[in-house]
Amino acid sequence: MPIKTQSDLPAKEILENENIFVMDESRAVHQDIRALNVLILNNMPVKQDTELQLLRALSNTPLQIDVTFMNVKSHVSVNTPASHLNKFYTTIDEIRDRKFDGMIVTGAPVEDISFEEVDYWQEICEIFDWAETHVTSTLHICWAAQAGFYYYYGINKQPLSRKLSGIYEHRVANRKVPLVRGFDDIFLAPHSRHTETPAQAIHACPELTVLAESSVAGVYLAIAEGGRKIFVAGHPEYDRFTLKNEYDRDQGRGLSVPIPYNYFPGDDPKQRPLLQWRSHSNNLYSNWLNYYVYQVTPYEL
């Protein structure tokens, strides 16, 4: 799939070296195609890494996507240069009157504090409200999924006794729903978090349908409003070394964290991690774009 980005976005060159077709604005303007407009609210600290991961994940359908990156205006990022944000990112104030086919809201490293204590929580709530009338389908990832469960359905997160990190088995719970079309009965996906939204509370919520779950990591995938809201408790976008980088970072900070489960061969952090989740990650994003964005969004937004 051709992904339309700004021509000098740093991730563009990396994706092209991976043989992923990335189209810049100058070429896209000459094609008589109505691209899907996808907004990515990137709350991760090192935004360039997440840009690359998500653009890679979105690159496996024949659909053309015009990606817009957004960040919250009520928080100052200290891990991404201001020049990068000023050049490649927008805020809710600048796109308030636009409509989008799809939106992805990423995780954020704020799960150890309550939602109300997050300095940009009110802005997140504002964006969630805005999306109700301006976005066809929203995909919430990790902390954003927890935030969505809490904001829309009043289901709060709870702390874990130790960090959940690794590659876990999940079982498909409802194969008739198109979002999991093509999934194996059991598939692998990454998790990395210190908190969880209780599985029993999600199952008990009549507005939510659980589509995939792990006996260890809990609910992985849930859907609401016919696909207008989708919640992913893990990190399907993670690349091969993301969990390793997080583990090395935590070790460097002197934190007592477990070796990521089912990740390093022989649980040896010196070994190259196995990439075991990419096919289902690609399938998830492709199904979302096809069944819940492309096939239901109007041609004239």
How is residue 195 written in tokens?
């908190």
- Give the active site residue among 134, 140, 170, 235: 235
What is the C-alpha to C-alpha distance for residues 111 and 159, in angstroms, rounded to an integer?
9
Q: Are 140 and 148 in contact (CB under 8 A)?
A: yes
| Cβ contacts of 279 within 8 Å, gap of 6 or more | none
Does the active-site annotation cover 280? no
- Give the active site residue among 51, 111, 134, 142: 142
- Give the active site residue among 111, 196, 237, 246: 237
Does the active-site annotation cover 140? no
In the block, which residue shows the tokens 């991690």? Answer: 273
| Cβ contacts of 271 within 8 Å, gap of 6 or more | 264, 265
Query: Which helix (H) or strand (E) segment is 168 a member of?
Result: strand 158-172
Give alpha helix (H) positions in the chain.
10-17, 25-28, 47-57, 82-88, 92-95, 121-134, 143-153, 199-204, 242-252, 278-287
> What single DSSP character describes residue 288?
I
- Calculate the alpha carbon distances from 293 to 83, 131, 220, 224, 285 in Å: 32, 14, 21, 14, 11
Task: Determine the Cα angle at 295 with ends 174 and 282, to 5°.
Answer: 60
Q: Count the alpha carbons within 13 Å of 110 in the hemisphere toward its beta carbon.
A: 21
Total Cβ atoms within 10 A of residue 204: 11
Does the active-site annotation cover 225? no
3-state helix, strand, coil in the chain (%, to 5): 35, 25, 40
Q: Which residues are known to be catalytic?
A: 142, 235, 237
